[in-house]
Chains A and B, each alone.
Chain A
Amino acid sequence: MSELPPTTSVRRWLVTTNHKDIGILYLITALFFLLFGGVLALLIRVQLWDPSNQVLSGLAYNEAVTAHGMIMVFWFLSPFAFAFANYVVPLQIGADDLAFPRLNALSYWLYLFSGVLLAISFFQGGTLTAGWTMYAPLNVPMYTPSIGSTGAILALTMFIVGVTASTVNFLTSIHHSRAEGMGIMDMPLFTWSILATVWMMLFAFAALLGALLILGSDRVLGSVYFSATEGGSLLWGHLWWFFGHPEVYIVFFPALGVMLELFQTFSGRRLVGRKWVIIAICLIAVQSFLVWMHHMFLTTINLEIKTLMMATTIGISLPFDLIVFSLIYTLMKGRIQFTTPFLFAFGALLLFILGGITGVFLGAIILDYEFRGTYWVVAHFHYVMFGGATALVGAIYYWFPKMTGKMYDEFLGKLHFAAFFIGFNAVYFSMFLAWETPRRVFEYDPALQIFHQAGTIGAFILGFSFLIMFYNLGKSYVSGPVVGENPWDYSRTAEWAVPSPPPLENWPNRPSYASGKLEFVKDYVPDGGPAVKADENGNAVTDGGDSHADHIREYAHWDKHPSHASIWPFTLSLMLGVMLLGLSGFNDSISIGVADSLATTPVTISNPVYPALTVLGLLGLVYSGVMWGFEDFYAPPTEFAERWPFNGVEKVKLGMWFFLASDVLVFGAFISAAVFIRYNAGWQEWSPLTESLPGLINTFVLLTSSFTVILALVAAHRNSRKGLLASLGATIALGLTFLAIKMWEWHHEIYDVGVTIAENSHGDPIQASIYYVTTGLHGVHVVGGLLIAGFLFYRAYHGAYLEDERPVEYFGLYWHFVDIVWVFLFPLFYLF
């Protein structure tokens, strides 16, 4: 671990793991992508000025439309919200930092470098042109052959890996680090909205990750999932929208949280029906996973399912009704202050009301039949998603004084709002008027030209309004008036109880709400032990079973200072980026010939750059990962905290649980894909491609290895180094046996039977793809597990884990999971 350099040093921003620094990095990066996506939007609007205009070619227009959608939804909206979540949530819950600071830095760098990959994809023969929804089979190389298309898809995959890390981090932090006395119902509404958001992200983004890994395999390895006529297109539709609908709320909820906070702060009134608003938020989060097929009303799904989806869709609009009315009634009898942040939050509510009403239109199947694929949809989701983001723009102004210690210029802020609001409605309301225009089309009915021209003018006003904001923020940062802890009259949350900007570790003493309001308590620190609670006289008190000895055992490094700097998140992300850049052109650079064994297979490399980048990135990735593992980095767990409903679960274990839950969904996507395609192909038509004996042997091998992992944990617990090494060694040996059998099986299939990833000598090619890709994903998990096991073995050899066996336990959780997955795969591919 290195010390954290000052904020004036560039190095600081590369190594920082502090949640406030990372929040600011997110904010600046997200605003950059707003400009990037915004310029693409202006290009689209220029093309639409005239119904026969051809500023861009058809393909270039599709690139602009696709990249605009992807950038705004993925690289702008969510990271923009998580800039504030990073900065504010730990402060609102009374934590020193997020649960896993290095993981948080990793999420950020994965985000940044994935964006760089996306930008590079424009120069790899053009980026993806399949729309941000990437409908199949337009998303496979046959129809979008450019290397940049693969690049964009891999960039999104990388982005989602970062999102998953961030999700695990926020879930663990909010469930594990709330200050004493802050029960889950006592959390501020912004934190609540983030909690609901990350719960949805955990499952929704995992499904998307599954879909994108399959798509990546189609593009890089040559499998044939999404070009299969056995339901390939519909499979993409289901996977995409299973993610895609929750995604709408994922981008909207943080904005809703900002509205809920700001309406209270700038009216001086508390939220009406607070408990019911929280219940509504939770209901929406659950229901969001039950409405996805309303995006597919015009496909071949049957009327019964459509009716069900219509009912759930209408059902999900009702909790929103309640929230909207709660927001309106909260303001009444208040003392409403029309500051810039309030104007944006209030404007967001008005825009959302319009977005909501037009959404009810779409919920009625019969209207959706006509609106599908038109500008009605485009207008509606801009009112909802960008309308929501309007509140996030207010959040910049709201928290700007906290982040910088300076006040923004109120006049320029209001000017920004006026231009923004006028421009917004000009560009998106005109879309309702021109709703008969098909989406992503630039040769439209000339009768609608007047509306499209109004929209183009509005778009430029909207874009210009952000220049006012950048000027305002820049000027105020340099020479704005200095503010104290709390510039607002009626703020309540804890971030306003510390200096602006807050110190590195946030609090003067331990924050506690035990008395019903925020207090900073000084804990009793005995000589030779961690802090314990103190009474008024400074003497130690026990709090029921949490005894001193337990603390020492649990927190072996109690006397160390928390770490705030690590370079490995940066290098790891960079190296993953390099590897994915290499993979994007891998398929085009290498051709593999036909032979009768692996050893004699000719490989021709036409362009060495991409394969070299792949290898370089992979090596760098493994190196960074190992260095990360060896780094002495200490993130102290919050000692006295509210943890409902995970009382008594240790921090890293909780994080592991969350990670495995998301991994269940990734495998769930793969297994659902296998079942869906097979169902469409005719279930009985297929019989297992391979003999069942190797699979059966492998099942026993893996189950035995689960047993040896338990032995390792027992040995570590008993302080037996030899026992630990022997059991870990046995686990590794069994894992390698599994892989060896797998390799033999694949080799046999490929070279003796003639079943490859895209060809099947005795049946549908898609069956071969499913077999290789699904068991391949499992194999990658086994390889990853073996790398970790090797790392543990090395450290155990040097005497680690005897004092603190928890890393062995967490590895065991992962390993058991990998084994359980195999138990599902075995019957699917070897028996039936």
Chain B
Amino acid sequence: MIDPITLQQGTDWRAQAEVFDEIFFVFLTLGTVVGIIVVSYTLWNVYKYRDDGGEPDKDFDAPVVGELPTGQGGPKAKKLFLSFGLSAIVVISLVVYSYGLLLYVEDGPDTDEEGDIEITVEGYQFGWEYMYPNGHSETNELVVPADQRIDLKVTSTDVWHNFGSSELRIKTDAIPGETSETWFSVSSEEVEEQGGEATYRVECFELCGSGHSAMKGQITVLPEDEWEEWYADTEGSEDENSSNVEGDLATPSVTGSAVGGVSA
């Protein structure tokens, strides 16, 4: 079933994973090409100008011990600046290109505000606590609907963690006293492909103590209607969790009322 909100979003939705894959591909291709050219050119020249024991060229001006160092000018210097200029153009254009997409990722796609779901993520030694707008909280498993933009506000209650999911290509630092942000969305087609329930691994990407290796969680994406059913069921547990939420949160703004419309 396609939700009207999804239709409004149009076709310019691009997940971070998609953006990353595109840029990574471009960088990887160019990097490989440049690397192969430079290295093979170098190897070829080193082979060509090896000392084969023969007579040196007439213009070979061997240095001697005790001379004050001087450089080499001439055609080689021209070549030096040409190569430098070329490489500068490649590097700068790559970065300018990627910067445009960065601005998109920073803001996230334009969506109907009503559709966004804001979830607070708290890292702790050694797990993740997810807090929903209705006050419900889950440990280690984040359950979200497909086709929605999910905004994550990430912080930590003890040491510096880093919340990330490689498959979704999202990542952000979880720092005590600070709140950082990231977002993601998974399409219903993707959920469909994974058999009606898409799961993604969450890992901690900053050393946080003895349990760092095992600090794993999961993001589960359900079709929207299933999720809404699930979310409605969590309402009952609001009372027991809400006090917990208020006690832990540094910023009370996360329980945005605009998002309430989703569960209604």
A interface residue numbers (CB < 8 A to B): 57-59, 61-62, 65, 129-131, 135-138, 143, 181-182, 186-189, 228-234, 264, 267-277, 296, 298-300, 303, 307, 310, 314, 317-318, 321-322, 324-326, 328-338, 346, 349-350, 353-354, 357-358, 360-361, 363-367, 369-370, 372-374, 436, 438-443, 445, 485-486, 489-494, 496-497, 513, 516-519, 680
Residue in B81, B105, B208 with the greatest tally of chain A CB atoms within 10 Å: B208
| B72 and A298 contacting across the interface, CB-CB below 8 Å | no
Contact indicator A272/B205 (Cβ below 8 Å):
no
B142 at the binding interface (Cβ < 8 Å): no
CB–CB A496/B171 < 8 A: no
Contact pick for A350, options B42, B87, B95, CB 8 Å: B42
CA of A526 to CA of B81, assembled, Å: 54
B208 touches A367 (CB 8 A): no
Bound CA–CA A200/B110 (angstroms): 45
Residues of B within 8 A of A346 (CB): 46
A-B CB contacts (within 8 Å), total count: 279
Query: Which of A188, A229, A300 is in CB contact (< 8 Å) with B180?
Result: A300
Cβ of B206: which chain A residues have Cβ within 8 Å of it? 135, 373
Whole-angstrom CA separation of A58 from B214 in the bound complex: 9
Scan B38-66; emit 1 where CB is below 8 A from any A CB, else 0: 11011001100111000011001011111
Q: Are B65 and A268 in contact (CB under 8 A)?
A: no
Which of B79, B204, B209, B212 has the largest number of chain A CB atoms within 10 A?
Answer: B212
CB contact under 8 A between A299 and B173, given known A364-B95, A518-B65: yes
Question: Which residues of the other chain, A, contact B256 by a CB distance below 8 angstroms?
Answer: none
Q: Is B69 an interface residue (CB 8 A)?
A: yes
- B127 sits at the interface (CB 8 A): no
Task: Give the 10 A-B residue pairs with the shortest CB-CB distance, closest first.
Answer: A274-B71, A373-B205, A518-B66, A229-B177, A58-B210, A335-B51, A364-B98, A131-B207, A59-B210, A138-B159
Instruction: A138-B159, A270-B63, A322-B84 are known; give 15 further A-B pairs, CB within 8 A.
Output: A137-B176, A182-B68, A274-B71, A314-B95, A317-B91, A329-B80, A330-B72, A332-B49, A333-B49, A360-B27, A364-B94, A366-B20, A442-B213, A445-B201, A489-B62
- B179 at interface (Cβ–Cβ under 8 A)? yes
Taking CB as reference atom, which chain B residue is nearest A314? Answer: B95
The answer to whether B64 touches A372 (Cβ under 8 A) is no
Q: Which residue of A lies closest to B54 (CB)?
A: A335
Enumerate B82-103 residues with CB–CB distance to A below 8 Å: 83-84, 87-88, 91-92, 94-95, 98-99, 101-102
Q: Are the CB atoms of B177 and A486 closer together than 8 Å? A: no
A300-B178, A367-B23 as given contacts; A338 in contact with B211, CB under 8 Å: no
Q: How far apart are B5's CB and chain A's nearest CB, in angstroms?
A: 27
Report Cα–Cα, A131/B19, bound state, in Å: 31
Contact indicator A366/B159 (Cβ below 8 Å): no
Q: Report Cα–Cα, A273/B73, bound state, in Å.
A: 6
CB atoms of B69 and A298 under 8 A apart = no
| CB–CB B79/A329 < 8 A | yes
**Interface band, chain B:** 35 or more
B172 at the interface (CB under 8 A from A): yes
Q: Answer whether residue B158 sits at the interface, using C-beta atoms and an 8 A cutoff.
A: yes
Q: Is the interface of B mostly helix, strand, loop or mixed?
A: mixed
Nearest-CB distance from A206 to chain B (Å)?
A: 25
The interface residues of chain A lying within 8 Å CB-to-CB of B87 are 318, 321, 325
Judge whether B56 and A335 touch: CB under 8 Å. Answer: yes
Say yes or no: B72 contacts A269, CB within 8 Å: yes
CB of B62 to closest CB in A, whole Å: 5
Shortest C-beta distance, B88 to chain A (Å), equals: 5
CB <8 Å contact, B46 and A62: no
* Cα(A136)–Cα(B31), bound, Å: 35
Residue on B with the closest CB to A443?
B213
* Residues of chain B lying within 8 A (CB to CB) of residue A353: 35, 38-39
User: CB distance B68 to A438 under 8 Å?
Assistant: no
Specify which chain A residues have a CB less than 8 angstroms from the CB of B98 in the assembled complex.
364-367
- Partner of B212 from the list A62, A233, A273, A314 (CB cut-off 8 Å) is A62
* Cross-chain pairs A/B with CB under 8 angstroms, 17 sampled: A135-B159, A267-B49, A270-B63, A271-B72, A299-B173, A334-B49, A335-B56, A337-B51, A367-B23, A373-B206, A374-B166, A439-B205, A443-B214, A496-B65, A497-B65, A517-B68, A518-B66
Per the bound structure, the CA–CA distance linking A335 and B173 in Å amounts to: 52
Q: For residue A440, which residue of chain B has the nearest CB?
A: B207
Tell me, in angstroms, the Cα distance from A298 to B173 when the chains sit together.
6
Q: What are the residues of chain B within 8 A of A138 when measuring CB–CB?
A: 159-160, 207-209
Contact between A232 and B65 (Cβ–Cβ < 8 Å)? no
Q: Is the CB of B42 within 8 A of A272?
A: no
A222 to B250, CA, bound (A): 25
If A267-B49, A326-B80, A517-B67 touch, does A441 touch B203 (CB 8 Å cutoff)? yes
A357 touches B80 (CB 8 A): no
Q: A58-B210, A441-B212 are in contact. Are A370 and B169 (CB under 8 A)?
A: yes
Q: Flag if A310 contacts B80 (CB, 8 Å).
A: no
Q: Map CB proximity to A onto B172-188 as digits: 1 under 8 Å, 0 otherwise.
A: 11011111100000000
B71 near A189 (CB under 8 angstroms)? Answer: no
Which of B45, B102, B158 touches A365 (beta carbons < 8 Å)? B102
B60 and A272 contact, CB distance less than 8 A: no
